[in-house]
């Protein structure tokens, strides 16, 4: 497991144990996990964004902290937020990462996640020219997530 995955897992576990709120000291966490403080910054800035359902606050200085709060919203609203954040194209790896995050947050069940992953895989687009795949993938992903929202209504 990569260090960034270990850091992310540790923070997610903290959020789960503390009702969606975690306060960390960057240097302390880096020492505990055996990484450099910049690794903590990287993980927080790339995996705990508003688009992924988190609010991050930080206070610098000796008693500084980083506070991460999981945004809890209605599943339909959260799904539409993801749809609106996807953009015009998305890679297979980025789509898989978003879907994994959604499953961890129980925005998707295992069946929905696997079905969407299979529809977004590079194997599904093998006959599509490489330069068009990411654009098509984004469109399919948005449409599948929007269909889940519609089916819930």
CA distances from 87 to 48, 111, 148 (A): 18, 24, 18
Q: Are residues 80 and 100 in the same domain?
A: yes
Q: Choose one of 70, 102, 122: the last residue of a domain.
A: 70
Q: In 10 A of CB 24, how many CB atoms?
A: 20
| 72-91 residue pLDDT tens | 667 888 888 888 888 899 99
Q: What is the CATH number of the domain that holds 15?
A: 3.30.56.130
User: What end-to-end distance do the CA atoms of the chain give, in Å?
Assistant: 39
| 2-20 residue pLDDT tens | 898 999 999 999 998 998 8
Q: Are residues 141 and 82 in the same domain?
A: yes
Q: In 10 A of CB 125, how many CB atoms?
A: 18
| 16-75 residue pLDDT tens | 899 889 999 988 999 999 999 889 989 999 888 876 778 898 887 666 789 999 876 678
Full domain range(s) for residue 38 = 3-70
């Amino acid at each position: 497991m990569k260090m960034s995955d270990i850091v992310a897992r540790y923070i997610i576990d903290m959020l789960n144990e503390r009702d969606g709120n975690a306060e960390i000291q960057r240097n302390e966490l880096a020492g505990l996990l055996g990484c450099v403080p910049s690794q903590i910054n990287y993980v927080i800035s790339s995996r705990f964004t508003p688009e992924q359902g988190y609010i991050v606050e930080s206070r610098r200085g000796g008693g500084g902290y980083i506070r991460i709060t999981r945004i809890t919203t209605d599943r339909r609203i959260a799904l539409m937020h993801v749809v609106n954040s996807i953009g015009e194209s998305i890679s297979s790896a980025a789509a898989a990462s978003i879907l994994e995050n959604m499953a961890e947050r129980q925005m998707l069940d295992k069946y929905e996640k696997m079905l969407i992953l299979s529809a977004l895989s590079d194997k599904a687009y093998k006959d599509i020219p490489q330069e068009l795949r990411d654009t098509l993938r984004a469109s399919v992903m948005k449409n599948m997530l929007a269909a889940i929202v519609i089916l819930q209504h």
